[in-house]
Chain A
């Protein structure tokens, strides 16, 4: 634990360097983007969903055309990226039925024709759902997860199931039993994880938006690594029914988009109480984009008076200087928008990581007990019951999953429960209180989403502790159950390629509305940067 002096030193305000816009050579227009006049500064990211809707309803394009153009790009990029574990074979058929409805002037839902990637730890009735695990190879659930059902009911088309670290346990997507996903910005690097497939797919425009899940940062860290918007909603905002549980008290289904608007529209679709999930909240769900301000009507200081707390513990040692610069630049950008940015200290911040790994491992050791080879999934050939269990699980689970099951089983064992699980719960309460206090003083808190930009594939594969340490920026938010939005806000130098860095904005419980509104203004006013990865830079349909 940090001493008070150390903290006060950490909290000392740093000089915020001036923004240095990275020169960008190409500007591209798209079938879907607003035709804005060419300028030296690229336009802010458009909403793919709203643009699609306008184009569909005005009959400029058909859903089939759109679907085919995305599928074409998917086929082109997928051999380099491996974002998907399964690609649906009914995308064009579903798009056709949207076109049929439109041609008959029937109402179509707000997600009509929207191509959605779904992390493979969410159940889909018509596609395999493996959780990235060998133990569920070929498993097809008899039902759709509630979030997936809602997306489909509103007209969304599930493009496929995206790759992930097995059951969400990992921060690189290297933990998948099936394939390693690459980062679209540099295919020698990881996309982050565990929702790396969803982040990479949205980044490379293989789909418009994607669902991910976030237990300790699994939406936010890959969003930062892949230069897309990632939202972790408040615990309870979105039903977990149909999400393969990793750590039930921390798991949240989240959204990826290439713009804040798309992310908000997807959140609109999946939020709300579900009678099948006793932990889903009955709170009313606001329309998350109704208060968005169009970029051309923004006032000079649209965020005048907004109190922003920069968490000083997140800019200390162990955080890349490039990341610190981006965050400081983002802070100064917010000041330009009228925010009052102050450093805040969360003394319990460093306790989050150990508490998280104890609680998440404990719950996972229990949640993964059902994968026993008895009712579904892969079953080992065994002579007797204990080896049926032993061999099915030994062969079915990967090493990271086994490590967490062992840690969790240990932490819950008689004689250790009080020292580990119970103590971690006490820490969790302290963290919740400290966030509450900080959010009473501030409208939002900001921090990096990860201590570094994307690192090389294989770099941390054999060093679990180093990988765990990378979750320091995000796990506290899950322990506190709060919503957080990650926005691409800058770049660091990554050798041949520049790599995106995300800014994390943390809000009060159930106040996604404010996060999204602030995030939208931030995004629309952040000039000089365009978060389209090089792998598709030459694709002029992006």
Chain B
């Protein structure tokens, strides 16, 4: 069957419908939203603005921009990580050999029929609830019809007029570096549908081949209200959607693999104008930073055209974000609305949700990013820390377990965000892959706070625990690392150091008091790092100053 499938389709690529082609081709660049990337993003957009704007000298771009307001909405496709496809029992594994995860149903063979995977409905209800949506207890599937070689049945099973969830919102906190602030963006609807396959084009462009592995993989499409006003808001919206689906465990949210795809709709209008401007759609956004940069580019492009009276140059069209040139370019102009001839899918019964079913899912929802952030805030953490910890569900879980074991909140946050994350970055690991358990981190923090070990020793132990595992207690015993907190013992060591360094002692007493650090270091060295630093300094200072 596979060989049948792979037979070539003679095509001249220029005549292909690029819209659909590129819609699928979205896994080249990937980065998660972080402050550094966001900053380069801003710089990136500024440099492109210079390129496109010869008139900038006459009137600064910033002056132009401040007269306009952008209206931005996003359509997000989330690929669900269910074990099997939406309407058949084929597995889906990203990167499999072409046409190895296919069957009569997802190949659209004559006589094959779809049967809904109940996990898809479960995921849709979870995400709908997490997005604060209302649920349609009775929804249905519809067919969206168009011809394309990656669409084996000639129609996509989707939901049209009655989506499973609608009318919700998403809450997020903007990064502190961008001025911070809480935002709430509306969610128009969430609906279930199936993915299409992929086309593979031959090197010389003379034919294309069809890979149907992805055909029939379940997707949830989330449509936002046009509530966003700039690139950062849009990028943060997308990042929050990614966080949500990862918290819920419904998708890996990986933009590189195309598990999370964003299409942006944007129009601008002079501030104060009620009527919306002409809407442009941007596709091929492969990372949050490209969402951000593409929007800022597009706002600048449209604002300049408007400010120069070239309103007619802004047309309803689909534009592509080109990562290489950092520009959006026309992909296809819309010639009227395409007619997908939607009608109810007769092969599938309607989707009926019972109140009990919805309640059981509601009760099983994990703590979601927004709730976590509010709780962390109440714990007294700074917004910077809150955002960092809640960003990654695994990090947040590690933190939560650590403080559940009684660790000091601020210290736990510092250890995780400092040394542990540095180690993860270095070793390219995720927090659930290291040997250190939250239990032991809590123990470590307690041991330092309680004075059993010094912070310095703590750091050493930490790296061993992270790499090799084991317990804090075991390590302290094994290496004899218990902090020396006996004043008499420290006094002895101080005496010895003073005795061994008469020259330096003389200089100190001659006024070169900076040498205190030197003596402290010597004593610490003598104690093999175990001396309690506070006590050490207190005793040392007393001794140094005693005989002067």
Contact = CB atoms under 8 A, between A and B. Distances in A.
Nearest to B104: A143
B348 interface: yes
Contacts, number: 126
A375 B4 contact: yes
A363 B155 CA distance: 12
Contact of A381 (B4, B10, B16, B347): B10
Interface string B375-411: 0000000000000000000000000000000000000
B11 interface: yes
B16 A385 contact: yes
B143 interface: yes
Given A278-B347, A389-B147, A372 B10 contact: no
A244 B110 contact: yes
Interface in A439-453: none
Nearest to B153: A370
Interface in B98-130: 104, 107-116
B154 interface: yes
A363 B346 contact: yes
A368 B116 CA distance: 21
Interface in A248-299: 248-249, 275-279
A395 to B, nearest CB: 16
Contact of B111 (A145, A414, A421): A145
A131 interface: yes
B274 interface: no
Contacts of B28: none
A370 B15 CA distance: 21
24 contacts: A241-B113, A275-B115, A277-B113, A278-B116, A278-B347, A279-B347, A366-B341, A368-B154, A369-B153, A369-B154, A370-B152, A371-B110, A372-B147, A375-B4, A375-B109, A383-B10, A384-B11, A384-B12, A384-B15, A385-B9, A385-B11, A388-B9, A388-B11, A414-B337
A134 to B, nearest CB: 14
Given A276-B115, A383-B12, A249 B346 contact: yes
Contacts of B488: none
A413 B341 CA distance: 5
B349 interface: yes
Interface in B72-108: 104, 107-108
B110 A131 contact: yes
A401 interface: no
A414 to B, nearest CB: 5
A377 to B, nearest CB: 8
Contacts of A122: 111
B185 to A, nearest CB: 30
A508 interface: no
Contacts of B145: 366, 369, 412
B371 interface: no
Contacts of A24: none
Contacts of A277: 113, 115
Given A277-B113, A370-B152, 18 more contacts: A123-B111, A129-B110, A129-B111, A141-B104, A143-B104, A240-B111, A241-B113, A243-B111, A369-B147, A370-B110, A372-B154, A375-B5, A375-B210, A376-B4, A376-B110, A385-B15, A386-B15, A421-B343
A96 to B, nearest CB: 30
B149 interface: yes
B480 interface: no
A417 interface: yes
A379 to B, nearest CB: 8
A172 to B, nearest CB: 23
A242 interface: yes
B339 A240 contact: no
Contacts of B114: 278
Nearest to B17: A385
A414 B155 contact: no
A382 interface: yes
Contacts of A388: 9-11
B499 interface: no
Contact of A136 (B108, B110, B155): B110
Contacts of B339: 413-414
Nearest to A422: B343
Contacts of B115: 275-278
Contacts of B154: 366, 368-370, 372
A417 B343 contact: yes
A178 interface: no
Interface in B332-358: 337, 339, 341-343, 346-349
A384 B341 CA distance: 24
B1 interface: yes
Interface of A: 122-123, 129, 131, 136, 139, 141-143, 145, 240-245, 247-249, 275-279, 362-363, 365-366, 368-372, 374-376, 379, 381-386, 388-389, 409, 412-414, 417, 421
B349 A278 contact: yes
B11 A141 contact: no
Given A249-B346, A278-B347, A382 B110 contact: no
B111 A141 contact: yes
Contact of B341 (A123, A136, A145, A412): A412
A143 B113 CA distance: 13
A247 to B, nearest CB: 8
Nearest to A167: B110
A369 B154 CA distance: 5
B120 to A, nearest CB: 13
A432 to B, nearest CB: 15
B344 to A, nearest CB: 8
A278 to B, nearest CB: 5
The interface centre, meaning the residue of A242, A279, A369, A389 with most chain B CB atoms within 10 A of its CB, is: A369
A164 to B, nearest CB: 14
A124 B114 CA distance: 19
Nearest to A275: B115
A379 B341 CA distance: 25
A388 B113 CA distance: 26
A245 B111 contact: yes
A376 B346 contact: no
Contacts of A143: 104
Interface string B1-25: 1001101011110011100000000
A250 to B, nearest CB: 8
Nearest to B1: A142
A417 B107 CA distance: 29
A365 B12 CA distance: 27
Max chain A Cβ within 10 angstroms of own Cβ: one of B16, B147, B337: B147
Contacts of A278: 113-116, 347-349
B12 A366 contact: no
A417 B15 CA distance: 31
Query: Which 3 residue pairs spanning A and B have beta carbons closest together?
Result: A369-B154, A248-B346, A249-B346
Nearest to B115: A278
Contacts of A131: 110
B476 to A, nearest CB: 60
Nearest to B341: A412
B155 A366 contact: yes
B368 to A, nearest CB: 32
A417 B145 CA distance: 14
A386 B107 CA distance: 20
B339 to A, nearest CB: 5
A362 B142 CA distance: 13
Contacts of A365: 341
A382 B10 contact: yes
Contacts of B116: 278
A362 B1 CA distance: 30
A413 B343 CA distance: 10
Contacts of A242: 111-112
Name, among B4, B154, B339, the residue most crowded by chain A CB atoms within 10 Å (CB to CB).
Answer: B154
Contacts of A382: 10
A241 B15 contact: no
A386 B17 CA distance: 10
Nearest to B14: A384
A24 to B, nearest CB: 42
Contacts of A279: 113, 346-349
